Amino acid sequence: MRNSKAKKLLKKINEQKTYYRAMSDEKLQAQTEILRKKIANNEDEEAIIVEAFAVVREASYRVLKMFHTDEQVLGGLVLYEGYVAEMKTGEGKSLVATLPLYLKALTMGRSFLITTNGYLAKRDKERIGPVYEWLSLSVSDSSAVENETKSLVEQRKIGYGGDIIYTSNGEFGFDFLIDGLADSPENRFMPELTFALLDEVDEILIDTAQTPLIISGNPKVQSNYFDVSHRFVQTLRIKQDYEMDDEGENVWLTEKGIEKAKHYFSVDNLLGLPYFSLYQHVILALKAEHTIRKDKDYLVEDGEVKLLSRKDGRILEGSSLQSGLHQAVQTKEGAKGTPESQTISSVTYQNLFRQFRQLSGMSGTAKVAEPEFIGTYNLPVKK
């Protein structure tokens, strides 16, 4: 959206202040249904934007005692058009979000507000949600348990049933995978992915873009190769028995290392199909020993291996390395073992958020990542 167009719309929205301030509560609340009819009749979009923003502005004033500033309205217009708005913490991002979320819920049937953690989603839903409810829209929190007697699917249907849905990127991602594994339409709960407004958008779409979300299951037969493979790799010497790349991210056996493994395990063809599982475990033990680093990639706490975020060093509770690598690290550390797992379903955040028909986002540092936003998601940044 060009600045001139945004300022023109702002001027018109400001001109509506007196008109809507004079309305009774009942008449102002009735504007939601009036707007629905105008949208259904394909009336002028600019006029609808002006009316909807002015309605939300006044409703926020009556419910929250907060009236959007001109800068906040301009931010709302940018978000409505599908841009990333550079807004710093303290500039009222939660209030700004009410403007596009309300109108997108009317024009697209539903809108999502996605944050970086469940606490923020719950907080914003409780703090800002009353504005939408006052305007006759339903609001839901995907993580909320409304009724403990209901099944998980029933609870999720409630959590994703609002006109406006508050959720976190992690919660939404795993629910997306779970929904995709449903064995019947009746057990699906995820609504159509229409419009999503992402808070701290650079953290979600850039920093964790290639992070895979994974649902795992346990294989029927658990391996007993972890201990013996770990003991074997302790005998290996770098440059002779194994090599690593310059980044220290990949490791492999040399020809001499393979011969050493054949002798150690008393097998004639380590790379043959009958010994494929053994070979896999040797490589897992090599990776655990030389590429997964203690106090950088994980720590051991109360006898358990816990993964760390490479970005900020925080513990990633509930996360584990996949395809047996976590068990190999546990063996290396002599830590509590967990069942070996295999991937059932996975998706990266980048592919996940491409499922939405339209995205927009807010962040205090978005401008520096604009080339990535445009190249990956076609999301320009507006300050």
Query: Would you state the pLDDT for residue 54?
Result: 98
Residues of the chain scoring pLDDT < 50: 220-222
- Spell out the residues 6+ positions from residue 329 whose beta carbon is closer than 8 angstroms to its own: 288, 292, 298, 305, 321, 335
Query: Would you state the pLDDT for residue 220?
Result: 47
DSSP per-residue string spanning 284-310: HHHHHHHTS-BTTTEEEETTEEEEB-T
To the nearest 10 degrees (0 to 180), the angle between helices 93-108 and 31-40 is 50
Q: Which amino acid is at 346?
A: S
Second-level CATH architecture of 3-215+352-382:
3-Layer(aba) Sandwich (3.40)
Query: Would you state the pLDDT for residue 106?
Result: 98
Distance CA 107, CA 103 (A): 6
Listed by start position, the domains of the chain span 3-215+352-382, 226-340
CATH 3.30.365.10 is right for the domain spanning 226-340:
no
DSSP per-residue string spanning 162-188: SSEEEEEHHHHHHHHHHHHT-SSGGG-
Query: Would you state the pLDDT for residue 344?
Result: 66
Distance CA 334, CA 330 (A): 6
pTM, 2 dp: 0.69
Express the helix, strand and coil content of the chain in percent, nearest 5 each.
Answer: 50, 15, 35
Query: Would you state the pLDDT for residue 146?
Result: 58
Query: Would you state the pLDDT for residue 166?
Result: 96
